Structure 1
Amino acid sequence: MIRSDVEFDSSGTTCRAWWYRPEGTTPAPVIVMAHGLGAVRRMRLDAFAERFTAAGYSCLVFDYRHFGDSDGEPRQLLSIRRQLDDWAAAIAFARTLRGVDTARIVLWGTSFGGGHVLVAGERDGRVAAVISQCPFTSGIASTAALGVVSGAKVTARALADLAGSALGRPPVTVGLAGAPGSAALMTASDAVSGYLPLVPDDLEFVNEVAARVGLAIPLHTPGRALRKLASPTLVCICDEDSVAPAGPTARHARRAPAARVIRYPAGHFDIYVGADFERVVADQLDFLRATVPA
């Protein structure tokens, strides 16, 4: 396989990506991929992309604005609207790639990105298929999972960050993964031990984001888009998910005529490594072969 560094414009800011291409001359479908809450492509997305490319698929794996190798100031600004715009820009860029089957675009997202692909796919209306892994589908459910103490701390810092941004001050931040009761967006008992080990040793990772997103998350319900998504959709649910509870995702999926659900006896972070990774990749490849064969 070939992996190239590419970049595309999203609302005037440069997003950077890997473009994986399989060997051979037959145009391959393109899987557009991005990560979850504050995460970057180097946190195990290459492992998924390599499996898909080995099976004959092309992959475009990008970092959101303000994160990773992409541009955008201030750094660590997590804006739901901007990230959805980045998805639209990445899809548009994928349709310009030469030597691939740009008529067959697949969206793949995990965690917070697993919710983004539902919205992006429904908005685009032309994607061939969607894979949503351990998806964030209900802001209310994920906020409840955060707990009262952490929720109060995040809200206080979010209000301070919002007020400071109006005055041009640097962001007030909250943690991404933190201990139970801390001012972080993920504070379940497995958050620190599950999230931070995904970071490669040679990556200077910042475990925080601008706190203002804490006010937007409870109001965001991407699961509603799943009900209107016409493209074949695979929803991979972790039954022991401590970050994106399984119940709301399953309820949204039951009302989605194009959705297929596979459930795993695993936690939110287990799906990226080990036996659970092998199982979910095999299931995703089966889905791809059945719906968008390479």
Structure 2
Amino acid sequence: MSEDTTPPRRDVRFPSGTDRCHAWLYLPAGTSPARRVPVIVMAHGLGAVKALRLAAYAERFTAAGYACLVFDYRHFGDSEGEPRELLSIRRQRQDWQAAVAFARTLPEADPDKVVVWGTSFAGGHVVATAARDPRIAAAIAQCPFLDGIASVRQLPARETLKLVTTGVKDLLAHARGREPVRIKAGARSGQVGLMSSVEDMQSLLALLAASGIEEADYPNDVPARVALTIPAARPGRDAHKVACPILFCVADNDDLAPPDATVRMASRAPRGEIRHYDTGHFDIYLGDDFDAAITDQLDFLGRHVPVA
């Protein structure tokens, strides 16, 4: 029987606002207050939770000697917050700040070697977080959402109108104290959703399967008001403020975070590095594309935030 080399993890919680976020803490062997290591703070993208394959990344990083704090946003996954699946850009940015602050208090972590890692929608949060916090040692943004206008332009006009209409209905319901009007994060044909192409839905289902999650068990409905905030979300405009080294992993066939807009904004980061992958938005989490991306990310970390 082969020895299990999966790094151990423990459940932790940290405060954000009036709620608590749940996180997995991975620590490499031999870590102690006398031997502190860099810590990578990690979170997922649009409507997603840490159980959706983030463990695969954390295990590789921990095997290389890095601690990892992998968290769910408020309202999602194992974290607190009502209503459930509320997708608020402002709140998620606050969760990032709270997670970084908590990581700096970990006795096993070097508070001056905190790395932020985000994928998809969280790739934009990483840029915003690193731009705001000059103590961040390095950042990794995988298939990042940097330009809301560019993403919305990918949608057919009819789909955009449905999203706006449903978003307004949800805002009115919220103002009247009623239950949220919801839309799908990942939609099938005929459904109103933030991600609605057949290819994206098939890739999302493959990602769920690889994570051991049944589609019926995955919360996929979010309050529709978020659709009104996405066009104004352009975190890539802050790339020029990111002082630390930052790696952008760009999926060249991405129809959710258009690669041209991503590269244009990423190029403004003073210490930015860009890597390209011949893959789609969800494909980078699996198989050879995952291996290629994680290899580049480990190389980046080894050059900029090496483990002593």
Category of TM-score, reference length = shorter chain: over 0.9
Matched, 1:9 2:15: yes
Partner of 2:165: 156
Q: Distance in 2 between matches of 1:247 and 1:112?
A: 16
TM-score, scaled to structure 2 = 0.93
Of the three residues 283, 286, 290, the one matched with 2:299 is 286
Partner of 2:226: 213
Partner of 2:36: 27
Matched, 1:107 2:113: no
Asked whether the equivalents of residues 111 and 136 of structure 1 are also in contact (C-alpha less than 8 Å), the reply is yes
Q: Distance in 2 between matches of 1:30 and 1:245?
A: 30
Asked whether the equivalents of residues 149 and 231 of structure 2 are also in contact (C-alpha less than 8 Å), the reply is yes
Secondary structure (helix, strand or coil) at the match of 2:115 reads strand
* Cα distance, 1:202 vs structure 2: 4.6
Q: Distance in 1 between matches of 2:304 and 2:116?
A: 13
Q: After the TM superposition, which residues 174-253 of structure 1 pair with which residues of structure 2 at under 5 Å, given as runs?
A: 174-179=183-188, 182-199=191-208, 200-202=211-213, 204-253=217-266
Asked whether the equivalents of residues 11 and 24 of structure 2 are also in contact (C-alpha less than 8 Å), the reply is yes
Q: After the TM superposition, which residues 38-117 of structure 1 pair with which residues of structure 2 at under 5 Å, given as runs?
A: 38-117=47-126
TM-score, scaled to structure 1 = 0.97
Residue deviations 1:40-66, cap 9 Å, x none? 000000000000000000000000000
CA RMSD of aligned residues (A): 1.2
Partner of 1:258: 271
Q: Distance in 2 between matches of 1:197 and 1:17?
A: 24
Residue deviations 1:232-264, cap 9 Å, x none? 000000000011100111001222211100011
- Structure 1 runs of 4+ with >3 Å offset: 179-182, 200-203
Asked whether the equivalents of residues 147 and 181 of structure 1 are also in contact (C-alpha less than 8 Å), the reply is no
Partner of 1:121: 130
Asked whether the equivalents of residues 246 and 269 of structure 2 are also in contact (C-alpha less than 8 Å), the reply is no
* Cα distance, 1:287 vs structure 2: 0.1
Aligned residue type for 2:177: G
* Cα distance, 1:12 vs structure 2: 1.2
Q: Structure 1, unaligned stretches of length 5 or more?
A: none
Asked whether the equivalents of residues 154 and 214 of structure 1 are also in contact (C-alpha less than 8 Å), the reply is yes
Partner of 2:142: 133
Q: Distance in 2 between matches of 1:27 and 1:17?
A: 19
Asked whether the equivalents of residues 151 and 183 of structure 1 are also in contact (C-alpha less than 8 Å), the reply is no
Partner of 2:4: none
* Cα distance, 1:27 vs structure 2: 1.4
